[in-house]
């Protein structure tokens, strides 16, 4: 954050991204990914900084999210 309280976008290195399915409903509920070398499970929630960055990179064409198996 800067002195005015604005959130600055981080440049996250996302090397893997794959949808995760809810075991009960079978619906997509998260994205399993590797961000800056750390394995994470990111919920599909606008406002989550990791999810927002994943979606930004998808829109930019620099990241593809694999389908769940």
pTM of the shown model: 0.83
Q: Which residues of the chain have pLDDT under 70?
A: 1-10
Decide if 43 contacts 55 (C-beta within 8 A). Answer: no
Query: So what's the pLDDT on residue 11?
Result: 82
């Amino acid at each position: 954050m800067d002195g005015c309280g604005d959130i600055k976008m981080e440049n996250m290195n996302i090397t893997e991204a794959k949808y995760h399915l809810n075991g009960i409903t079978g619906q997509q509920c998260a994205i399993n990914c590797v961000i800056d070398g750390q394995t994470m499970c990111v919920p599909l929630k606008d406002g989550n900084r990791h999810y927002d960055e994943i979606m930004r990179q998808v829109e930019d064409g620099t990241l593809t999210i694999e389908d769940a198996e």
